Amino acid sequence: MAPNFCLLDRTVAEAIASSSPTTQRSIARWAARTVIERADLSNTQWVLDGLNALEEQVALPAPFDGLFNARQRVETDPALRRLRARAKPALRNQQLARQVFAVSSLTSAGATDPARAALDATYFAVADEEDTQLLLGEIRSKFLPR
């Protein structure tokens, strides 16, 4: 996803790539947590289990062992299907996409390589948002030196 991230904001992507592994891990955790909250998934237990594992810096549990598995879980989880069903019909696909991007960010944040984790988690966190520049600005101010 790093090449795609460069299309969104090459300066931020390069700054993340050149930051320390500790900073990269912090960015990955922040991105995942932020997009999970924005997608209204912070009360979903299996998502919380993934976030907790990420915070504890241990291997992520299933379904976060692969992008396909995490995305499939979003699509088939009965509680999330009910949540989407309550949305206005015109917004259901958008809500599904936001949830898929959120679990993709969390899955990516658990990558072994800190740079890959930060770049991919951030890409998935901002790619489907109207507030892309706002979120990238938050990353700049919180994590990246001037």
pLDDT digits (tens, 9 = 90+) for 62-119: 999 999 999 999 999 999 988 888 888 878 888 889 999 999 999 999 999 999 999 9
**Count of other CB atoms within 10 angstroms of residue 75:** 12
Q: pTM for this structure? A: 0.92
Alpha helices in the chain (DSSP H): 2-18, 21-38, 45-56, 67-76, 78-86, 92-109, 114-126, 132-143
For residues 5 and 14, what is the distance between their CA atoms, to the nearest angstrom?
10
> What ranges do the domains of the chain cover?
2-143
Residue 1 has pLDDT above 70, yes or no: no
Q: Long-range pairs for 47-52 at CB < 8 Å and ≥24 separation?
A: 47/102, 47/103, 47/106, 50/103, 50/106, 50/107, 50/110, 51/106
| % of residues, the chain, pLDDT over 70 | 97
